[in-house]
Amino acid sequence: MTLIEQTRPNPDLSSKPLVLATDLDGTFLGGTEQARRALYSWIEDNRHIVGLVFVTGRDPGYIRSLTRSKGIPRPDYVVGDVGTTIASVDRDHMLTPIPELEAEIATAWNDASARVQSALHRIKGLRLQSTGFRYRVSYDLDAETFDDSALDIVAGLGLDALVSDNRFFDVLPKGVSKGPSLLRLMTHLGIENDRCLVAGDTLNDLSMLSLGLPAVAVGNSEPALIEALNGAPHVHFAKGAGAAGIAEAILTLNMIDRTAA
């Protein structure tokens, strides 16, 4: 993974009118090319008032490759690996873990990777992902053959299991997911709740869309996510897919003007 240990300064997000905390696949990276280009250009033109945090299941190496070579705006911070990585991002697109924010995550994980893989080795419908993660184990899930006894096995290990988009199975430290890790980062940076718009599209985004912060479930969201949110008043259920849904929410919720005061 692309991680460095030394601390480097990052922009102060506490005074910016809008901090966009967004999932990647299907959300920030979703929608038409025209919609993505419009949103990305708007963010780059307004960096003085907009902060950007990626809250994703993706790993640091993928994120660095994405922002260095594929025209995606560089985030100020990343909550990655389904909430098990919390890092700042420097001008060279390198991710720096924030030790004081990751300490509880590391303790809760307690080097469980080998135990998890051993316990789930014979479970049908799970295929171990090749990426080596620090504080999680992740599988591709075959919904037709999946043996849901895996959920009880993971619980017996004192860990959390998360199924998302009916395609992915993540084993995480107890109590760790996108939402709690994002809140930990926001508290660390002094970002007020009403200045942060969270955006997502699948069940692994539920923990952050349920925080009570201004939120958007983009138009292409997983039906199970929409059902779980069940018309929550703080959530904008966008018509636009992916990037278009984010832009729609920024305008509909008046995120810039209402927080600028």
| Judgement on whether residues 159 and 210 belong to the same structural domain of the protein | no
Confirm whether 2 is domain-assigned. no
**Cβ distance 219 to 190 under 8 Å?**
no
Phi-psi category of residue 90: left, alpha or beta, with phi > 0 → left and psi -120 to 50 → alpha = beta
- Domain hosting 38: range is 18-104+176-260
| Judgement on whether residues 143 and 243 belong to the same structural domain of the protein | no
| Judgement on whether residues 99 and 193 belong to the same structural domain of the protein | yes
Neighbours of 163 (CB within 10 A): 20
Percent of the chain topping pLDDT 70 = 94
| Judgement on whether residues 95 and 202 belong to the same structural domain of the protein | yes
What are the tens digits of pLDDT across the range 186-230? 999 999 999 999 999 999 999 999 999 999 999 999 999 999 999
Q: For position 135, which CATH number holds?
A: 3.90.1070.10
Q: For position 96, which CATH number holds?
A: 3.40.50.1000
Distance CA 163, CA 93 (A): 30
Tally of domains in the chain: 2
pLDDT at position 36 over 70:
yes
pLDDT at position 113 over 60:
yes
| Judgement on whether residues 78 and 189 belong to the same structural domain of the protein | yes
CA quadruple 99, 197, 174, 123: dihedral positive or negative?
Answer: negative
> What is the reported pLDDT for 10?
61
Confirm whether 5 is domain-assigned. no
**pTM, to two decimals:** 0.91
| Judgement on whether residues 159 and 192 belong to the same structural domain of the protein | no
What are the tens digits of pLDDT across the range 77-90? 999 999 999 999 99
> What is the reported pLDDT for 82?
95
pLDDT at position 40 over 60:
yes
